[in-house]
Amino acid sequence: MKRKRRRVAIVGSGMVGSSCAYSMINQSICDEIMMIDRTYDRALAQALDLSHCIDFTHTRTSIYAGTYADCADVDVVIITAGANPKPGQNRMDVLEQAAEITRQIVVPIVESGFQGIFITAANPVDIVTYMIWKLTGFPRHRVIGSGTSIDTSRLKTLLSDVFSVDPRSVSGYALGEHGESQFVAWSHVTIGGKPILDILAQHPERFKHLDLDDIARKTKDAGWEIFTRKGSTHFGIGSAIAHITRAVLNDEHKIIAVSAILDGEYGQRDVCAGVPAIIGSEGIQELLELRLNEEETKLFNDSCDLIRRNMAGLVLEPIQS
């Protein structure tokens, strides 16, 4: 029996889009990758360059340049193209520009007949994810933002250094906005299954220099530290997008912190924020509603309120079929 080929389109052939493609090629995540860019020659050049990796990988991924009109039959469209903040700006400062870019991308893709799953990492990612949901009219499970997946990874990396364990032995989440109002749900962070708060209580001398607020701050600021030193962050987020895409294409039912449209979860509606979700072939299979403590609940609500305030005034008319 002939197996259905897994096809992915990546919109944006810059550092994030190309890093995502490179990660997917090396992990053999899909059979075909179509690179799309505002400048076709750039997409073609990236596709050619990436195709020269194939001889050094275990499987063959077909990679080529395409256009929005070619998206009708792809399984996943990944949007990395967006507006980059300038020095001194934050992710929200590029919102108006991001809204226009998002519409220019999403409208022709939907008009092509695309009926798959959108995954986006364009900033401000929570609001861009919400925009895509509103513009397309797709059910909420088929629109996923990278959200706090990368922040959660940064948190695990920081804690792995402190406790001298593999980051994959750390469990926990950064939640809320992928931005300044994100927070760490410390009540749900574990090291090898043991709550971090219990570890600190049992070993006060050993970990007396560990400041959880400082770890949370470093988690939040990690992207800016990289950005200010080299002008972009792309390897980590590219791998995060590839990770989410693999969970979709392989129906892994993996739990990942992503930007998701909330409809009653955590007491929130009509807003998109970073929460843990089960990711499978249909996109978001289910949102996990953690039992946050009083302080964490306030931080989550404050983060959602900030996202809403920044969305105020956006015109999000659905695409006419």
The structural domains of the chain, with segments of one domain joined by +, span 7-145, 149-311
pLDDT category at 97 given cuts 50, 70, 90 is confident
**pLDDT over threshold 70, residue 151:** yes
Contacts of 33 (CB under 8 A, 6+ apart): 7, 8, 9, 10, 21, 24, 25, 47, 50, 61, 62, 63, 64
Q: Worst-scoring range by mean pLDDT, 77-86, 87-96, 309-318?
A: 87-96
* Predicted local distance difference test score (pLDDT) of residue 312: 83
Please state which architecture CATH assigns to domain 149-311: Alpha-Beta Complex (3.90)
pLDDT, the chain, mean = 93
**pLDDT over threshold 70, residue 85:** no
**pLDDT over threshold 80, residue 313:** no
174 annotated as ligand-binding: no
Report CA-CA distances (Å) from 47 to 66, 77, 271: 10, 16, 36
Contacts of 314 (CB under 8 A, 6+ apart): 95, 99, 127, 131
246 annotated as ligand-binding: no
Residue with tokens 């997409």: 43
* Predicted local distance difference test score (pLDDT) of residue 90: 56
Tell me the per-residue pLDDT of 7-29, one tens digit each, with 9 for 90 and over. Answer: 999 999 999 999 999 999 999 99
**pLDDT over threshold 60, residue 259:** yes
pTM for this model (two decimals)? 0.94
* Predicted local distance difference test score (pLDDT) of residue 88: 59
Domain 7-145: CATH superfamily, name plus number: NAD(P)-binding Rossmann-like Domain (3.40.50.720)
Residue with tokens 């990278």: 146
Report the alpha-carbon distance of residue 160 to residue 170 in Å, rounded.
7
34 annotated as ligand-binding: no
Active site positions, annotated: 178
* Predicted local distance difference test score (pLDDT) of residue 320: 61
Q: Which amino acid is at 243?
A: H
**pLDDT over threshold 80, residue 82:** no
pLDDT category at 231 given cuts 50, 70, 90 is confident
88 annotated as ligand-binding: no
